[in-house]
Amino acid sequence: MIEAYKREVDRTLIRQSLRRSVEERLDALIQLQRFAEELREAGRRAR
């Protein structure tokens, strides 16, 4: 089952992440979270 999901994993993103330090990975997560929040806010405004 997991093998099927694994085929969909974008390994270029993983390789990019593995080149970063742990702190850089967490900073990227924080940026992603901000981006998602901005998108949600834009969606709310559009309703």
Partner 1 sequence: MTDFKALLRALAEGGVEFILIGGVAGTVHGATRLTLDVDVVYRRSSENLRRLVLALTPYHPYLRGAPPGLPFRLDVATIERGLNFTLTTDIGDLDLLGEIVGGGRYEDLLPHSVDIHVFGVDCRCLTLDRLIEVKRAAGRPKDFDAIAELEAIREERLRDDAR
Structure tokens given for 6:
């694994």
Shortest Cβ distance from residue 43 to partner 1 (Å)? 15
Closest C-alpha among 27, 3, 7 to residue 17 = 27
Q: Which of residues 1-47 bind partner 1 (CB under 8 A)?
A: 1-2, 5-6, 8-11, 13-18, 22-23, 25-26, 28-30, 32-34, 36-37
d(CA 16, CA 47): 36
Interface positions with partner 1 (CB under 8 A) = 1-2, 5-6, 8-11, 13-18, 22-23, 25-26, 28-30, 32-34, 36-37
